[in-house]
Amino acid sequence: MRILGTFISLLVIAGCSGGSSSSPVSTPVLSVTPGSLAFTGQSGNANPASRTISVTNAGGGTLLWTASGNTTWLSVTPTSGAAPSTVSVSVDISGLATGTYNGAVTITSTGATGSPKSIPATLTVGSPPAALPQISLSPLVGGFVLPVHVTHAGDGSGRIFVVEQAGRIRILDNGVVLPVPFLDLASLASPRLVSGGEQGLLSVAFPPGFTTKHYFYVNYTRIQDGATVVARYRVSIGDNNVADPASEEIILTVSQPFANHNGGQLAFGPDGYLYIGMGDGGSGGDPQNNGQSPGTLLGKLLRIDVESGVQPYRVPPDNPFLLSAGYLPEIWALGLRNPWRFSFDRGTGDLYIGDVGQGNVEEIDFQPAGEGGQNYGWNIMEGDSCYPPGTVGCNRADLAPPVFVYDHSHGCSVTGGHVYRGSAFPSLQGVYFFGDLCSGRIWGIRKNGAAWDNALLAENTALTITTFGEDESGNVYVVNYANGELLRIVSP
């Protein structure tokens, strides 16, 4: 008892001396963060996640508050309390039409400076998600050997060109695979390319005006060192179905430090320039940091002019980094890991890239027509996650986020596809089809205002999907790398 009494005496003395000398009773000051709230939802979809407001007392003393929302769609919990505290703000979009709604959260404290505080809250309700169409896969023809690319020549012939990894390009003409390959680099006395894994003959692209030009472009990994080669070949005089393997003109060579991640896609954009997908050079995790390095062509999408008459090529005068110190002028976009397949929407000119992930996340990247210069994030990010896994708070400023991601519980490696612009199946109009190499799953995404609708459209396909492809009519195809079959995506 004696000890306790002594303690109480000391506390009373200390309290009296402190209060009387230097600490006047402060006026409570109501302080809240953030100063405004914005919510975005889609009509008919789930409510956006709730947000929080911190209520603090910057002036000392006691602060009691009473919070309230003032609209039918806005609610606040708890509705009263003492600072410091956290207020949760929720919105309910059920029954709301599309549009923008303005409201406010009001926090009041009797006797506090700065009371009441009104925090504006904005709710934007977008269009409802559209149901994506059902699809089925219609087997067309088999017999290809390790097909990796499907395209057309844009020459009115209706021919479909199928690239086989070992070095051949086959022609499918009126449903029949022609016996003689269009191009055969696999049977040369002096082999030119190395094939297997992620190497080989990886794509072909026909320039605008091919009908009169009679030449085309290929991308392959050369046998000496695995470097990427972009080369021009000519069609034989007198036979439009056979090209001359001796006609090669090399356009561009890019050294590859490792055998994997070669990119490999060539495609002419609506601007008539040649776009080239380059992987980060390989290994894992981009050990040379090529994706983010402006001084290498690795880990980039390139844009060059191979049709101006300047040999081997010219850099387009409006490439996005021409005035940026340290950037190679051919760079159109950076931050790519392995953009194995990309394509242009023939209806809009928009660009879609399937960028293969490292170990966790696969992604689809998007570029509105004509707008280059994006940094798609690798290796700061893998898909929508900071990289390496577990990294917190990576700097996402100036990075273009993917428009769709899936993790490795759904597959292993994304294969970019095409936007359907054919006339046979109106319900498929505007859907971008893509899939996964390992799981064979096929998804569709379609732009819906500022949002993207998406759906898993085919599961358990048993396909090993190395590529999609498009014919002159806008039909979209998919291959099975494992058994050499070409299938058409149709409306059931």
Which residues make up the interface to Ca ion (CB under 5 A)? 376-378
CB 326 within 8 A of CB 334: no
* β-pair type (331-334, 300-304): antiparallel
Q: Which two tokens stand for residue 483?
A: 């058994």
**Closer to Ca ion by Cβ: residue 261 or 488:** 261
CB 435 within 8 A of CB 426: no
> CB of 481: closest distance to Ca ion in angstroms?
24
Q: Which residue has the tokens 């056979």?
A: 242
> CB of 148: closest distance to Ca ion in angstroms?
23
> CB of 360: closest distance to Ca ion in angstroms?
12
> CB of 347: closest distance to Ca ion in angstroms?
25
> CB of 371: closest distance to Ca ion in angstroms?
17
**Closer to Ca ion by Cβ: residue 96 or 394:** 394
**Closer to Ca ion by Cβ: residue 233 or 378:** 378
**Closer to Ca ion by Cβ: residue 193 or 334:** 334
The CA R_g of the chain, rounded to the nearest whole Å, is 30
**Closer to Ca ion by Cβ: residue 301 or 489:** 301
Beta bridge partners of 193: 222
**Closer to Ca ion by Cβ: residue 223 or 403:** 403
> CB of 291: closest distance to Ca ion in angstroms?
9
**Closer to Ca ion by Cβ: residue 366 or 378:** 378
> CB of 363: closest distance to Ca ion in angstroms?
5
**Closer to Ca ion by Cβ: residue 280 or 453:** 280
**Closer to Ca ion by Cβ: residue 144 or 376:** 376
Which H, E and C letters describe the chain, residue by residue?
CHHHHHHHHHHHHHHHHHHHHCCCCCCCEEEEECCCEEEEEECCCCCCCCEEEEEEECCCCCCEEEEEECCCCEEEECCEEECCEEEEEEECCCCCCCEEEEEEEEEECCCCECCCEEEEEEEEEECCCCCCCCCEEEEEECCCCCEEEEEECCCCCCCEEEEECCCEEEEEECCEECCCCCEECCCCCCCCECCECCECEEEEECCCCHHHHCEEEEEEEECCCCCEEEEEEEECCCCCCCEEEEEEEEEEEECCCCCCCCCCCEEECCCCCEEEECCCCCCCCCCCCCCCCCCCCCCEEEEEECCCCCCCCECCCCCCCCCCCCCCCCEEEECCCCCCEEEECCCCCCEEEEECCCCCEEEEEEECCCCCCCECCCCCEECCEECCCCCCCCCCCCCCCCCEEEECCCCCCEEEEEECCCCCCHHHCCCEEEEECCCCCEEEEEEECCEEEEEEEECCCCCCCCCEEECCCCCEEEEECCCCEEEEEECC
**Closer to Ca ion by Cβ: residue 269 or 402:** 402
Q: Which two tokens stand for residue 34?
A: 């953030």
> CB of 33: closest distance to Ca ion in angstroms?
31
> CB of 491: closest distance to Ca ion in angstroms?
32
* Cis upstream peptide for 316 (omega within 30°): no
**Closer to Ca ion by Cβ: residue 184 or 280:** 280
Residue closest to Ca ion, measured at CB: 377
> CB of 450: closest distance to Ca ion in angstroms?
19
> CB of 335: closest distance to Ca ion in angstroms?
6
